Chain A
């Protein structure tokens, strides 16, 4: 263990995002649904955090609140000490691959958020991110002609192009086949290690969470609260058959109430 400890990179201690007593209640017609209950969470600058929970538990709602698309019923989110009041180009939300604009080419999508930049700089950045996500040769292609994995990479590129300091990813690889998914996880880690954005990643896949995150936030069933926070103290690239990996993963399995031998 001590050896591993030294390999783990030093975690930046500055708080980036802070959720304080966040509650969310939806009213639809006469039905009231309590979705989030007293969520408290701190995320450090440059940290990779996974929100993990079963489908429909409210983790995507929490992410939408963090991104400013929804206003919590009570409590608030602070980012860099400021209360979040709406979406902001400094923090980009990545939807499943459906979020790319089908009426724009690959170039048009990547350049979408760069409209305030002068043209030469915009083109330079577009070219840089086209290359980063490996879409060279597809610059003039429209999204319906791309594969699911390519669309997903395109959306990540569109988000990175505006140089945000945070990324919110909502089950971004959920619709991909398992091989593409593995590749995309590797790509995301590579980008994260190069650019050091703070990333909050929603998933219902335990393996995905343990492979990617610095910390895994295990959410309870609805109304969701933070059940446990698990630090993943394994350096990247992670050996998914190492005893420590299996131990952490099984621990989370148990936490989530699915305890079983694999």
Chain B
């Protein structure tokens, strides 16, 4: 395995594959955050919107992101876009549900207090809604980033020809290089851990942390 990693470094593939995987995860994840969180917060705020969208969300939710692989390839061809789309699909619903749930569990006293001090709607969103949902959103982001990292490996086995997922499949196909397979797995594990540590650092920001220490 160590020899495998050394091989990869020698051929300049290690950095290339890691960057390729991280690039796809970043785009898929960030796009999902940009779309899912505002939509989820809006749906969560309006009871009727939640009632309207809930059936479709519940039907889409049990579909594995991997089931989208054929459609991803049909729409985007074999390449980065297909992988990014798959990661987006894997992240969107969990983030949407997190955001909906986060809004709905804001204690009414915070909203009433905000209104009482004469906040306009935009100010209420920025000064009460947003800080009140942050702790739940951080938990959701953390779980979802984990999902994104799982999905990228699977997507790269099929939809592209670079990245850590591709490395594993390619190593097996090109002559049963199981040392490289295991090296790829170890790299995936280590990077996944680092991503989690990175996003957990958000939890240490003091004004984000309140719910963790609240009794």
Contact = CB atoms under 8 A, between A and B. Distances in A.
Interface in A70-102: 86-89, 92-93, 95, 98-99, 101-102
B116 A102 contact: no
A103 B207 CA distance: 5
A15 to B, nearest CB: 23
Contacts of A99: 109-110, 113
13 contacts: A69-B116, A86-B115, A88-B118, A93-B112, A95-B109, A101-B110, A102-B210, A102-B211, A102-B214, A113-B118, A115-B123, A142-B210, A145-B213
B206 interface: yes
Nearest to B135: A103
Nearest to B215: A144
A67 interface: yes
A224 interface: no
B102 interface: no
Interface string B108-128: 011011011110000100011
Interface string B163-189: 000000000000000000000000000
Contact of A101 (B112, B123, B131): B131
B206 to A, nearest CB: 7
A162 interface: yes
Nearest to A170: B109
B130 to A, nearest CB: 9
B62 interface: no
A145 B107 CA distance: 19
**Among the interface residues A67, A86, A102, which one has the most CB atoms of the partner chain B within 10 A?**
A102
Q: Which of the four size classes fits the interface of chain B?
A: 20 to 34
B83 to A, nearest CB: 37
A242 B107 CA distance: 43
Nearest to B118: A89
A82 to B, nearest CB: 16
A206 interface: no
A144 B112 contact: no
Contacts of B137: none
Interface residues of A, number: 23
A176 interface: no
Contact of B113 (A88, A95, A103, A142): A95
Interface of A: 67, 69, 86-89, 92-93, 95, 98-99, 101-104, 112-113, 115, 142-145, 162
10 closest A-B pairs by CB: A102-B210, A113-B117, A89-B118, A103-B131, A87-B116, A144-B213, A95-B109, A99-B109, A87-B115, A103-B207
A89 B115 CA distance: 8
Contacts of B112: 69, 87, 93, 95
A93 B118 CA distance: 12
A194 B68 CA distance: 68
Contact of B109 (A87, A88, A98, A115): A98
B141 interface: no
Given A101-B113, A103-B208, A104-B207, 11 more contacts: A92-B117, A95-B109, A95-B113, A101-B110, A101-B128, A102-B211, A112-B127, A113-B117, A142-B207, A144-B213, A145-B213
B116 A92 contact: yes
B203 to A, nearest CB: 13
**Among the interface residues A67, A92, A95, which one has the most CB atoms of the partner chain B within 10 A?**
A95
